[in-house]
């Protein structure tokens, strides 16, 4: 059990039989009445976000999410095959189990597979990935690094906004947490 006073961003808790990650939290002490903690929680399994208020000092069970590094090998029909980097066991996951991390996956990429009570609840891609631009509007003379951008489709199918000077075939670094262009690779 963990006190809601000890909330921090990224902490996982068990609530209503599911795992929730703390996205935001704020301790509130009104002039009258007792203190409370206002929080925004994200369901790790479904991605749903809810706001929840707890009394100060209330205890909630901690969500024990295990993270194992696995390597994405290949796709096979509707499944995606991952290999545990420690014992070389293979695991086939569905698109739903992988979640939003699917748009950053490419062969031989290491990712963190999250499990809760023995079942896979999601896959975390690395914080930064280097991908090749496969489709974007051509750059025009006079376009600079500052001021605006254009959408670019990457080799994995993800679409990010890039500066005007990026062309097809360029390799770029993308922050997968904010889904933003960082720099040329």
Q: What percent of the chain has pLDDT over 90?
A: 30
Nearest of 9, 77, 81, 69 to residue 39 by alpha carbon: 9
Beta pairing partners, 181: 174
Residue 99: both structure tokens together:
């979640």
- Residue 6: the pLDDT is 87
Cα separation, 149 vs 130, whole angstroms: 19
Beta pairing partners, 60: 2
**Domains with residue ranges and CATH for the chain:** 2-60 (2.30.30.30), 65-124 (2.40.50.140), 128-184 (2.40.50.140)
Residue 5: both structure tokens together:
């006073």
- Residue 125: the pLDDT is 87
Cβ-Cβ contacts under 8 Å for 16 (sequence gap 6 or more)? none
Q: How many CA atoms lie within 13 A of 35 on its CB side?
A: 10
Question: pLDDT tens-digit profile of 104-140?
Answer: 888 889 999 888 888 888 888 898 999 999 998 886 6
- Residue 152: the pLDDT is 92
Cα separation, 154 vs 47, whole angstroms: 24
Residue 38: both structure tokens together:
């206002």
Question: pLDDT tens-digit profile of 33-82?
Answer: 899 999 999 887 777 889 999 998 899 998 888 889 999 999 888 899 99
pTM of the shown model:
0.70
CB-based contact 59:3 (threshold 8 Å):
yes
- Residue 50: the pLDDT is 92
């Amino acid at each position: 059990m963990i006190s809601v006073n000890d909330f921090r961003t990224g902490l996982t808790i068990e609530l209503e039989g599911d795992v929730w990650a703390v996205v935001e939290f704020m301790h509130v002490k009104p002039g009258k009445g007792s203190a409370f903690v206002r929080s925004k929680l994200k369901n790790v399994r479904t991605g749903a976000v809810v706001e929840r208020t707890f009394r100060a000092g209330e205890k909630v069970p901690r969500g024990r999410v295990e993270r194992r590094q696995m390597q994405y090998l290949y796709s096979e029909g509707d499944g995606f095959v991952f290999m545990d980097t420690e014992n070389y066991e293979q695991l086939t996951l569905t698109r739903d189990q992988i979640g939003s991390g699917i748009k950053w996956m490419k062969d031989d990429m290491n990712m963190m597979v999250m499990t809760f009570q023995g079942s896979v609840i999601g896959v975390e891609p690395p914080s930064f990935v280097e991908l090749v631009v496969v489709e974007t509007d051509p750059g025009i003379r006079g376009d600079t690094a500052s001021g605006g951008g254009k959408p670019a489709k990457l080799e994995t199918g993800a679409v990010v906004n890039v500066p005007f000077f990026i062309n097809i075939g360029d390799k770029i670094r993308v922050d997968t947490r904010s889904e933003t262009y960082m720099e040329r690779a």
